[in-house]
Structure 1
């Protein structure tokens, strides 16, 4: 009986880690659609988002089932609670990748981004994907050192986000208000995507230590 229960807990974690892989792939494709004005990639991200939503619903169903039927305590309870909240964070990451893809589709065949802005968003995409993939690794391994690395990766995203406002406020900006709004919103999507990945890592620290951290300092 205990072996079956542990297998259910492991399956729950495996599902969440797989969700991280899915949202990493979504942001990778969304970023390419944004940089290359690739309508097909944008459509793929948009159509695949419902699959991520379905996985979240299934994970929550399993988690609530464990609460109701197994009455978990101590670490097991923390796993289930963290899974419920973590599934929401990861699903939101998928939504933010979806927003990026929708922006690319809305402006197609024109590019959303001025050429001089594209390298910054290419880097944001790289950082975001790395964060999602590391979040999946942390769920699988419960490694606190890797969890802590997400904080420094998130700092890099925050720096890029802040720099976008410097660019937009520069007197040499010549692309108009509409482009400025697009850039500001897209930068915010990437920044929030990174924040949710960090939130997932913090929940794993909670599972291991019993304490929900502020900034990770492991």
Structure 2
């Protein structure tokens, strides 16, 4: 019985890691759709979002069953609670990739982004995908040192986001108000995606150490 119980805990972590990998793939496709005005990729991201939601629902159902039937304590309890909270963050990451894909679809066949800001979004997309993949490995390995390094990549995302805002606000911005609004919202989606990846890593540190690190932002999308 005890062995089966710990197998269930391991399966929860595996599902969470798989879910994190899914949203990383979604953001990679959404970024390509955004940069290349690729409608087919945008539609794929939009259609696959339900799969992320289904995994989160499964994780929550299993987690609450373990809480009710096994009454876990200490590290086991931390694991179940961390998985529940992390799954919420990962689902939001998927929603943010969905928002990017929907922006690409809404403007198709026109480009959403002006040429001057495309390089910023290419780099923000790269960092976002890297963060999701690092978070996936942190979940699998429970490597606290690796989890803390995720904050450095998040700092790079924050720097890009701040600089992007100065570009949009420049008096010589040539793309008009609608483009400025789209660019501002899209920048926020990437910045929040990174914040949620940090939150997932933070939950892993909590499982291992019993203490919640004081970095990152776990607020709503």
TM-score computed with the length of structure 2 as normaliser: 0.97
After superposition, give the CA deviation of every residue in 1:115-150 in whole Å (9 maximum; x if it has no partner): 111110000000000000011101000001110111
By how many angstroms is 1:215 displaced?
Answer: 2.0
In 2: Cα distance, 1:169 partner to 1:37 partner: 24
In 1: Cα distance, 2:191 partner to 2:215 partner: 16
* Gapped regions of structure 2 (runs ≥ 5): 217-221
* Gapped regions of structure 1 (runs ≥ 5): none
In 1: Cα distance, 2:155 partner to 2:75 partner: 30
Q: Please state whether the residue corresponding to 2:24 is helix, strand or coil.
A: helix
The answer to whether residue 34 in structure 2 is matched with residue 28 in structure 1 is no
Q: Considering only aligned residues, what root-mean-square deviation do their CA atoms show, in Å? A: 0.7
Alignment of 1:48-59 (within 5 A): 48-59=48-59
Q: Which residue of 2 aligns with 1:37?
A: 37
In 2: Cα distance, 1:149 partner to 1:20 partner: 17
Q: Please state whether the residue corresponding to 1:213 is helix, strand or coil.
A: coil
After superposition, give the CA deviation of every residue in 1:35-91 in whole Å (9 maximum; x if it has no partner): 000000000000000000000000000100100000000000000000100000000
Q: Which residue of 2 aligns with 1:67?
A: 67
Matched pairs, number: 216
Q: Which residue of 1 aligns with 2:219?
A: none
In 1: Cα distance, 2:173 partner to 2:84 partner: 44
